[in-house]
Structure 1
Amino acid sequence: MDNLCCFNSVYYQVVGGRSSCSSGKGRSHQSPVKYGFSLVKGKANHPMEDYHVAKFVQLQKHELGLFAIYDGHLGDSVPAYLQKNLFSNILKDEDFWTDPNRSISKAYEKTDEAILSHNPDLGRGGSTAVTAILIDGCKLWIANVGDSRAVLSRRGQAVQMTTDHEPNTERGSIENRGGFVSNMPGDVARVNGQLAVSRAFGDKNLKNHLRSDPDIQNADIGPDTDLLILASDGLWKVMSNQEAVDLARKSKDPQRAAKQLAAEALNRDSKDDISCIVVRFKG
């Protein structure tokens, strides 16, 4: 808990602190919505590179739930920057209330440009992103770049709300930009043999061959919508969408559900950092 401050049951990182803390929870003041999160460092011998956002804020007489997982690579500077800046860039866009899709898309692009031009070191590493904005408990906007994923549960059925941006599925785009996809070294397809996602923030050295525009989806939260799971690929590499939903639905406490998802991913020998947010829409 060093260098962390607590507010409304959510722990926020302060500048110079370590990566996001391990667990926390919170709730809406206007609806039955509750959330919990759990972040677990992977078995790789580098520092934790996953960051998150999970909070409710009041803006122009609306309540917004802001949830995100940022899965960094080659250091934690880019996910830390996203944690601090991406949502504010979305929400301060003048079109947000009339055209959220456009505002989210513009903010992703603007934020990536800022990362790349900020200083020589910031954009060297990179990060995936999956973001969710819940407006007044009833409208959900989800966007992603990379392979962190958002999954809704509707009457217990898993519905994937994001697109995994993998080199093999976007090979044409990469090659059109002068790059290539190779499974060497190892057995995972990588852009120029280096990066295992085809879209990312940062990654200055590969940017000519990568995209950073998000896929965006929206959904109405009705009586049939149970919960939302956001997680990094440390979870999804070892667990199907439906398995994750089935496990999360067993607990009415979303923090406990998030912890159980992370623990199960570890039990299944996930090597990567594991970050998970569970948003429960009903009590």
Structure 2
Amino acid sequence: MIGREILNKMKEKACFSTPLTPDAKKGGSKFSKHVTHGSHLMKGKANHAMEDYLVSELKMIDENELGLFAIYDGHMGHDVANYLQLHLFNNILKQSDFWTDIKIALKNAYQKTDKEILEKSLQLGKGGSTAVTAILINGQKLIVANVGDSRAVISKKGVANQLSVDHEPSREKKLIESKGGFVSNLPGDVPRVDGQLAVARAFGDKSLKRHVSSEPDIAVETIDDDAEFVILASDGLWKVMSNQEAVDSIKTIKDPHAAAKHLIDEALSRKSKDDISCIVVRFQ
């Protein structure tokens, strides 16, 4: 158990970020050599600045090793996604119940961060961002939380299992309508909240906040001997690849950075036009 002194240090010093560049990054655990991670980003063909951000790193906190991994996919600007990159994990680690009830800690931190973003809407703009976060504790337990359609997929014995939930407007139509909103479903377009947003949950989006939730879905996965790797990626990948196709595509690639880059290259070959960010975490 981490003492109050360590928690205070975490509150003061925790800041985990990855620069915004179409770049690749890889790393490995100094303390758990079986855990390695790599990441890659690629700007899409849309006529705007890159809107994806990511976090991918391992941190020792006292006797505990934390893997902190996240994909933030901004829309209508990149400022909200950038804010999440700089602040969401900090807010999670500041929660007093992080080590005793991590699900409550995650929900509270997501809510707190969304409130901060809405309060700063004059600086951050009217846009928003999806998020999928994964926290690996001592290489043994993986806690995944998400809002939106960025996705986390684990491979166990070669079989893909989705750990996140795609928050599609059609999936949450009744809830949106109960709050006074509506879901459009025009021919040739995807379902949208109030005819605008293609996800039912997100950070920011102040003008739609009454109808768009920031409450995460949370999954806890034990990392046993069957677990091989986890993929986190923005929807630019998942629009053109199924979960199993993604797992099959990298199952023989041992280097996680090379695996993340391979997934993005494969998505591009399948004509994905969106920004794409990808993290691969290997457990062997």
Coarse TM-score class (shorter-chain normalised): over 0.9
- The answer to whether structure 1 residue 81 and structure 2 residue 86 are counterparts is no
Q: TM-score, normalised by structure 2?
A: 0.92
**1:266: which partner in 2?**
268
* Partner SS for 1:212: coil
Once the two structures are TM-superposed, the CA of residue 60 in structure 1 deviates from its matched residue by: 3.1
Aligned length: 268
Letter in 2 for 1:12: T
Letter in 2 for 1:190: R
Once the two structures are TM-superposed, the CA of residue 114 in structure 1 deviates from its matched residue by: 0.5
**1:124: which partner in 2?**
126
Q: Deviations over 1:163-190 (max 9, x none)?
A: 1000000001111111111124842111
**1:30: which partner in 2?**
31
**1:175: which partner in 2?**
177
Higher helix share: 2
Equivalent-residue separation in structure 1 for 2:17 and 2:93 (angstroms):
21
**1:4: which partner in 2?**
none
* Alignment CA distance shift 1:185-1:48 (3 Å): farther
Equivalent-residue separation in structure 1 for 2:259 and 2:121 (angstroms):
39
**1:111: which partner in 2?**
113
Structure 1 contact 11–24 (Cα < 8 Å) conserved: no
**1:5: which partner in 2?**
none
Structure 2 contact 170–183 (Cα < 8 Å) conserved: yes
- The answer to whether structure 1 residue 94 and structure 2 residue 99 are counterparts is no
**1:3: which partner in 2?**
none
* Partner SS for 1:107: helix
Structure 1 contact 115–123 (Cα < 8 Å) conserved: no
**2:18: which partner in 1?**
12
Structure 2 contact 38–258 (Cα < 8 Å) conserved: yes
**1:39: which partner in 2?**
41
* Partner SS for 2:210: helix
After TM superposition, the structure 1 = structure 2 runs for residues 1-283 of structure 1, keeping only pairs within 5 Å, are 12-13=18-19, 19-31=20-32, 32-122=34-124, 124-184=126-186, 186-282=188-284
**1:16: which partner in 2?**
none
Equivalent-residue separation in structure 1 for 2:105 and 2:55 (angstroms):
19
Structure 1 contact 152–228 (Cα < 8 Å) conserved: yes
Equivalent-residue separation in structure 2 for 1:11 and 1:250 (angstroms):
29
Letter in 2 for 1:35: H
Unmatched tracts of structure 1, length 5 or more: 1-9, 14-18
Moved over 2 A (4+): 10-13, 183-186
Q: TM-score, normalised by structure 1?
A: 0.92
Structure 2 contact 18–53 (Cα < 8 Å) conserved: no
Once the two structures are TM-superposed, the CA of residue 22 in structure 1 deviates from its matched residue by: 1.4
Unmatched tracts of structure 2, length 5 or more: 1-15
Once the two structures are TM-superposed, the CA of residue 247 in structure 1 deviates from its matched residue by: 1.0
Letter in 2 for 1:171: K
Equivalent-residue separation in structure 2 for 1:273 and 1:250 (angstroms):
25
